[in-house]
Copies of this chain bind each other. A is one copy, B any other.
């Protein structure tokens, strides 16, 4: 057999599998696991009937371009509709500013390829989204995390970090942000902090990459649409590269998302996309376009907010009942995630195999930290499981934590003798 190692690129040698996707594989292989791991939207919320109707009308063969190669930039009527969605978010966008991508993951990957040289620095929140971390690392960028509190990034530490990097002659290309219901923390950054971050980026002359997939999924009991105003909305010099998606509001199976940015950046991203997959699925784009045009998306959103707010309630109540004081968390004001912090000395990576044996999985916190920290955290996705499964999963988690604590209690005297 051939030894392939000498054939692999340096990039391939350092690529790492996503911790979330690993958990997905566990899920696929197991019978009765409650999964709080991947941030999957709830399948029973997908607009099945509307999608079926749209597909039937699209697939008559009247318009052959539905199944043909499409333009790399995307289906133009969909890009036009997106300028309307952007306007609703407070962001002025022309159709030339929009590039369709094969999921936001492709947007992140294209941004990485077009903006980052090996050794360039990306600043990002501690913790941050693993998919972005992987895309940026794959092009050899160095990721530097900055502490955030419940209000968002610590501006003092952010500026100190940037100053230190500048003093070392390092090139910071952009700051990566997920201001709305961040994956993994669920945090909602305050509007004042958003404006301050934009001002900071202007002063330091770095770009901002704003990743905004959860914006529509605020929970009306504790947040309002006005709280989700993107950083891009106040960006009058086109410093922000803005990404969003239909994966969380229609369905991820369409793989339809977009990037909105200055035309000069969009043009580069388009050329990169051309070599990466020629075009995003034309049938998928048409279905999404029709779902927007016919009001399917608009009708979805209040239902989704209620759906996920209810699941948040179920998880919060179950955690409060079974694990008060053992796990603490900032209450999610939108999105899919509850970011739990384990009482010391519990560690989420040590707990993981025990939890799995009890039939519940989650993503250990350290997967979201670029600095090796985060072992006391765990990301619990409440989006996909039904309410009774959420309750079952939390009770299993509680049992797993009791077992882990018992084990620690049994071994710590021995450990103290060392």
Contacts and interface: CB of A to CB of B under 8 A. Distances in A.
A275 B138 contact: yes
A115 B254 contact: no
Contacts of A67: 43, 46, 48, 51, 251-254
B272 A10 contact: no
A265 B103 CA distance: 24
A48 B60 contact: yes
Interface in A202-226: 207
A272 B15 contact: yes
Interface stretch (A1-9, A84-92, A157-165): A1-9
A401 B2 CA distance: 52
Given A138-B275, A276-B105, A276-B106, A253 B66 contact: yes
Interface in A90-147: 102-103, 105-106, 109, 113-117, 120, 131, 134-135, 138-139
Interface in A15-70: 15-18, 21, 24-25, 28, 38, 40-41, 43-44, 46, 48-49, 51-52, 55-56, 59-61, 64-70
A146 to B, nearest CB: 20
A72 B255 contact: no
Given A7-B207, A48-B61, A277-B102, A239 B2 contact: yes
Contact of A131 (B247, B254, B275): B275
B115 A268 contact: no
Contacts of A70: 253
A12 B284 contact: no
A262 interface: yes
Contacts of A353: none
A9 B7 CA distance: 25
A74 to B, nearest CB: 13
Contacts of A252: 67-69
Interface string A241-258: 000000100011111000
Contact of A264 (B4, B72, B105, B120): B4
A391 to B, nearest CB: 21
A140 to B, nearest CB: 10
Contacts of A44: 61, 64
A41 B138 CA distance: 35
A298 interface: no
A408 interface: no
Given A65-B43, A105-B278, A12 B272 contact: yes
Contacts of A254: 67, 281, 283
A40 B55 contact: no
A317 B115 CA distance: 50
A274 B56 contact: no
Given A69-B38, A131-B278, A9 B51 contact: no
A350 interface: no
B113 A11 contact: yes
A99 B331 CA distance: 40
A237 interface: yes
Interface of A: 1-2, 4, 7-12, 15-18, 21, 24-25, 28, 38, 40-41, 43-44, 46, 48-49, 51-52, 55-56, 59-61, 64-72, 102-103, 105-106, 109, 113-117, 120, 131, 134-135, 138-139, 173-174, 207, 237-239, 247, 251-255, 262, 264-265, 268, 271-272, 274-284
Q: Which 7 pairs between the two chains have the least Cβ-Cβ distance?
A: A43-B64, A67-B253, A48-B61, A67-B251, A52-B59, A253-B282, A12-B114
